[in-house]
Amino acid sequence: MELHHGSKDFNSEGGKTAQAEAIYEHYDFVRGSLVNDIALIRLKKPVKLDDFTNVVCLPERDERVPSGTEAFVAGWGYMNENAFWTQDLAREVMVPIVPQEWCDEAYTRKINEETEVCAGFKAGGKDACQGDSGGPLVTRDSGKGATLHGLVSWGSGCARAGKYGVYTRVAGYIDWIEEAKEVLANCKAHKWCQDGKKVYNDLAGPGQLEKEKGGEPDAQLKNQRSPWQNRLSKKKRPRIKSAKESLSPN
């Protein structure tokens, strides 16, 4: 796996790539429902920060963003849900954070407030789309810079009226991120840590596949699970017909 940085344009000579050393996907991630839609990647070498490559702040544990807050999502995805290709030039659009109740009314299953956050316009028109999955949803805070509050996860189509974008709430995974950093630092010792060269295309995370076979995670990983995971809703969720992965035009 390669990561592109330092340029919005894939065709620009200013852009650089970084090689992934290891990938750690959330143990309980399932593509069919997009529960626990988060992973962490460790690079082979540190990336040099400059005017074109920089870091983003993490939110506080369980931090909530007030409804109406301006948030910005970016990516190289489709310009609309009927497009057939991703873009060479990254785009950005502002989408306000919306109340959980609005999202609950928009979809057939309830949004998990601890692990998901919604953003968008009731009238539609601006949104992420296919090709943007995993991309950042950030707020720009005076004196602090950009804070990563969400990761593009799913929705119904792209920029449809009354259908808000659903994002992984990063603040709900701070403990998991800390544990994942330790796993990635010693990837070979952990059963579910994947080599950075590997392309993983199965329909479920490795832990879900093992559980379907009647197996259990290794004891070391099992002991690392944090109390926050016990708070996750265990309600069975319907299969989502249209997963979002990119950006509609401004």
Residues 221, 229: Cα–Cα separation, whole Å? 13
Q: Can you say whether residue 51 is alpha, beta or left, with left for phi > 0 and alpha for psi between -120 and 50 degrees?
A: alpha
SS3 179: helix
Do 167 and 114 share a domain, yes or no? yes
Phi, psi of 134 (to 5 degrees): 85, -10
Instruction: Establish if 42 belongs to a structural domain.
Output: yes
Res 49: pLDDT: 93
pLDDT band at 68 (very low <50, low <70, confident <90, very high): very high
Q: Can you say whether residue 175 is alpha, beta or left, with left for phi > 0 and alpha for psi between -120 and 50 degrees?
A: alpha
Do 168 and 74 share a domain, yes or no? yes
In the block, residue with structure tokens 């832990």: 207
Position 22 pLDDT exceeds 60: yes
Domain with 117 in it = 70-172
Give the total number of structural domains in the chain: 2
pLDDT tens digits, residue range 110-156? 899 999 999 999 999 999 999 999 999 999 987 778 999 999 999 99
pLDDT tens digits, residue range 182-220? 999 999 999 889 988 866 554 445 555 554 554 333 333
> Higher pLDDT residue, 88 or 116?
116
Q: What percent of the chain has pLDDT over 70?
A: 79
Instruction: Establish if 212 belongs to a structural domain.
Output: yes
Instruction: Establish if 246 belongs to a structural domain.
Output: no
Instruction: Establish if 114 belongs to a structural domain.
Output: yes
Do 83 and 167 share a domain, yes or no? yes
